[in-house]
Amino acid sequence: MAELRARTARVGVIGLGYVGLPLAVEFADAGFAVTSVDVDPQKVESISRGVSYIPDVPQERLQRVTGAGRLRATSDFSALADVDTISICVPTPLRKTKDPDLSYVVAAVERVAEHLRPGQLVVLESTTYPGTTEEVVRPMLERGGLRAGQDFFLAFSPERVDPANKQWHTGNTPKVVGGIDAVSTAVACALYDQIVQTTVPVSSTSVAEMVKLLENTFRAVNIGLVNELALMCRSMGIDVWEVIDAASTKPFGFMAFYPGPGLGGHCIPIDPFYLSWKARQSGFESRFIELAGHVNASMPRHVVELIGEALNSHGKPIRGSRIHLCGMAYKGDVGDYRESPALDIARLLQLRGGLVTYSDPHVPIVNEHGVALEETPLDVALEQGVDCAVIVTNHRGVDYDAVVRKAPLVVDTRNVLKGRTEPHIVRL
């Protein structure tokens, strides 16, 4: 651990996406020599040129650490033999059956096992179900004869990245760490102590894995509750946004969550399914969690119904109407459209014959979930004429005043137009 505290240890990071790249840059900025590994040659090339493709990693910061030789990128996994620590930050999506897909984790661990040597620390950061580190990762790493806790150290430390969050980032967000034993926990904490303000050691890898699922399931369930409340308020003729604002004045016992067109991204829509899947393996039915998932999954269809009702009020059907989506990313000010509700909204509208276009300054093209579209800039779409504009993502810097001025109908799913009373605005 002395090398970790002296920052002379060599750090390895597998996976250079929204989690891995900020982590690698944080280590390099702290003075570590960092080797980052990714199977995507474009990412490797970008980092080698000092070009950031992650908004949360400023270009000048990346260039500072690559220029100083503290961060290098490669697709050659044999480089892992020369590092002292390995953090695995690869995707953990769902299969079509809503079961966990650990193929990326398994592939990464297989490559780590090929080059594992005594004294190394391996940390899994990818979100997964409780038991993964002990039941999947550990046996794979021990096949070569080395033993976790004796010959090498093994831990789980969940990522807590919130893209586009200006207040909380890798460096100041507390880091939960759970090892397969007390020594592994201590070594992993010693590593992360060098780059984060606070580490939070827990008793096991399973506890650390469960922490991440609790955090995101908490959000998913509460969003499901407020989405259902939005549907209820609409049937009663009550403004749900006013209700939430008023409830938020209570200084205790209430935390504001807001309705929306559905969940998106690589965590919130997926993690509760990891938890419910693991619960089923133990004979436990997580009805509450799964119900919230059903409510959230129904929101894109509800938005399409709102669009249909709004168009009908103007004597138009969805079929043949020009419907422009403002935003394709799953959240504001990011370019990530994985699991974005905008994809489902676009697909459902197209199935009903709608002529769908979209604008998003962060997403130039989409080709996923049966939706293949290129971005139409907002000013171009408004000049060409639309029958309905739908605010799906609340990006900053978008001219929403122009949307209200030039679109005959506006469906606002994010309450971006809060306080506006024009009759052609329809809120979720």
CA 427 to chain centre: 26
- The neighbour count for residue 185, using CB atoms within 10 Å, is 25
Query: For residue 147, what are the contacts with CB-CB under 8 A and spacing of at least 6?
Result: none
Are 86 and 14 in contact by the 8 Å Cβ rule? The answer is: yes
In angstroms, rounded to a whole number, what is the distance separating the alpha carbons of residues 277 and 258?
27
Q: Output the six-digit token pair for 311.
A: 């168009």
Q: Name the catalytic one among 89, 189, 267, 326.
A: 267
In angstroms, rounded to a whole number, what is the distance separating the alpha carbons of residues 427 and 261?
11
The amino acid occupying position 386 is: V
Helix, strand, coil shares of the chain, percent, nearest 5, are: 40, 15, 45
In angstroms, rounded to a whole number, what is the distance separating the alpha carbons of residues 175 and 208?
10
- Residue 236: Cβ-neighbour burial (10 angstroms; 0-12, 13-18, 19+): exposed
Q: Say which DSSP state 133 is in.
A: I
Assign 269 to helix, strand or coil. coil
Terminal C-alpha separation, the chain: 53
Rounded to the nearest 10 degrees, how much is the dihedral formed by the CA atoms of 337, 332, 87, 107?
-10
388 classed as catalytic: no
Radius of gyration of the chain (CA): 23
Decide the pairing of beta strands 153-156 and 175-179: antiparallel
Catalytic residue numbers read 267
